[in-house]
Amino acid sequence: MSVELRAKDSGAATRKLIGAGSFAVRVYTLEISSSAAPGPMTLDIALAEAGAVRSALEITSSGPPPATAGGTQPAVATIGRVQPAAAALRRTFIDRLDTHEPIYFIYGPDAPAAKFQFSFKYKLLEFGESAPRRMTRTLQFGFTQRSLWDIDADSSPFYDTSYMPEIIYQALAPEPERNDGWFTWLGWQAAYKHESNGRDGPISRSLNVVYARTGFVLGRLDDWHLIVVPELLAYVGSLGNNPDLDDYRGYGRLQLVLGRTDGLSLAATTWAGKDFNHASVQLDLTL
């Protein structure tokens, strides 16, 4: 179908020269016949001097359109107005940025008094077309920072900080058609992760690992359930500046999350150590 673009203001109709590396914003409106089904639409604009411009739009229903001078209402569908800056942010972050490892801030009486962690992952690529009954396969960049902060001391110095960038291949299972099953497989991840304290010289420490993890749910997805996430890892390269690290971290971990969707959850992450003699547990409560 053909549509007519109308300038939002008088300045949009004037000619403007745009220098290299610059841009200009002009706002136009258009009307689309209500016979067009709601959903995504591609708008092609033919420009005499710059060729064709193509944009993806979303047709939505927004209530009855305004009446015309004759008292009748034209059959139109509307497209929600999106600010250019907001549109750029949506293209960059919507469905791409997500949390990764637990995010927390804790405080205690002993030095260093505070410990906090933040973690996110950003989708770089998606392989294949998304479909309701197909696995979603993506390549993601992850970053986690964990710090020990001597917040009660003079000048409140950071006692230690670990920086953990990683590249993740993720394959998520399709959403089940029903939520009343007692076993649901979630998918799997494989990643290469670097961990460093960001220092050099004799106080430098770093390591590289590859890991693989999977996850499944025991219980109904719409009620209380238990998420089980086993993980196996292998160290890449030397542990020269961390010779005893594998004794404590071992070669894997197990995470158990008890909770319900959009509600209270309690997560327990356990490490057993290389010889199962240096066990440790981390508990995370989400409200």
**Of 91, 111, 126, the domain-final residue:** 91
**Of 62, 91, 120, the domain-final residue:** 91
Cα dihedral across residues 19, 25, 30, 36: positive or negative = positive
Round to whole Å and give the CA distance between 134 and 238: 39
Predicted TM-score of the model (pTM): 0.66
Same domain, 190 and 65: no
**Of 39, 71, 91, the domain-final residue:** 91
Q: Give the model's confidence band at 33: pLDDT under 50 very low, under 70 low, under 90 confident, else very high.
A: confident
Same domain, 68 and 199: no
Same domain, 270 and 174: yes
User: Locate tokens 């639409």: which residue?
Assistant: 41
Round to whole Å and give the CA distance between 51 and 191: 43
pLDDT of residue 75: 41
Residue 1 lies in a domain: no
pLDDT at position 51 over 50: yes
Round to whole Å and give the CA distance between 207 and 168: 17
Q: Facing residues of 189 across strands?
A: 170, 213
Mean confidence (pLDDT) of the chain: 81
Round to whole Å and give the CA distance between 280 and 239: 21
Is 217:183 a contact under the CB 8 Å cutoff? yes
Round to whole Å and give the CA distance between 107 and 51: 60
Same domain, 137 and 15: no
Is 221:179 a contact under the CB 8 Å cutoff? yes
Q: Name the residue range of residue 183's domain.
A: 95-286
C-alpha to C-alpha distances, 246 to 238, 253, 268, nearest whole angstrom: 11, 12, 20
Same domain, 20 and 59: yes
Q: How many domains does the chain have?
A: 2
Q: What CATH number should be reported for the domain holding residue 169?
A: 2.40.230.10
Per-residue model confidence as pLDDT tens digits over 202-232: 888 899 999 999 999 999 888 899 999 999 9
Looking at the annotation, which residues are catalytic? 194, 196
Is 119:105 a contact under the CB 8 Å cutoff? no
Same domain, 145 and 49: no
pLDDT of residue 81: 44
Same domain, 104 and 226: yes
Provide CB contacts within 8 A for 169, sequence distance 6+.
137, 138, 139, 140, 189, 190, 191
Nearest Cα residue to 137 out of 123, 150, 149: 123
Per-residue model confidence as pLDDT tens digits over 127-139: 977 666 788 899 9
Round to whole Å and give the CA distance between 55 and 29: 14
Same domain, 16 and 136: no
Amino acid at 49: E
Same domain, 126 and 153: yes
